[in-house]
């Protein structure tokens, strides 16, 4: 969902990016409507419209489980939210666990939108792992 929001067209642009809620469904699922429980409640939360284009929010380098990497975290602001996306660090970096996480300070306290449509408590920072993204709502 965050990847969709980072690429979504601006209100004045024609639509070229689509959200496919079945894209990341658990492959062991036998129910084609699983996205209703997995994505739809979060998608229904009003993040508003994009305020501008995406930009590099933070970048740096690190190492995790034998992998030295450079990372970039991209951001895009919406009326009601901030979207942060950290693409995969590199083809050789296949650790996606907590050890790959990078602490990111937020511009103000925000609440995280979870995949099931619920919210975290107010946060002043988040940890974003390799190939992870987060949607944060302004409070």
pLDDT band at 137 (very low <50, low <70, confident <90, very high): very high
| 1, 42 contact by CB (below 8 A) | yes
The predicted model scores a pTM of: 0.83
Q: What is the pLDDT of residue 99?
A: 85
Does the pLDDT at position 13 exceed 90?
A: no
Helices (H), the chain: 2-7, 35-38, 40-43
Q: What is the pLDDT of residue 11?
A: 72
pLDDT tens sequence across 43-102? 889 999 999 999 999 999 987 777 888 899 999 999 999 999 999 988 878 888 898 899
């Amino acid at each position: 969902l965050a990847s969709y929001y980072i690429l979504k067209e601006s209100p004045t642009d024609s639509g070229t990016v689509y959200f496919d809620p079945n894209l990341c469904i658990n492959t062991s699922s036998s129910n084609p409507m699983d996205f209703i429980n997995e994505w739809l409640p979060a998608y229904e939360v009003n993040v508003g419209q994009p305020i501008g284009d995406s930009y590099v929010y933070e970048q740096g380098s690190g190492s995790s489980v034998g992998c030295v990497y450079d990372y970039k975290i991209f951001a895009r602001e919406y009326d009601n939210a901030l979207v942060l996306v950290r693409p995969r660090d590199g083809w050789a970096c296949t650790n996606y666990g907590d050890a790959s996480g990078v602490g990111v300070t937020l511009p103000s306290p925000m609440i995280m939108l979870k995949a099931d449509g619920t919210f975290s408590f107010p946060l002043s920072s988040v940890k974003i792992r390799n190939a992870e993204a987060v949607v944060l709502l302004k409070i």
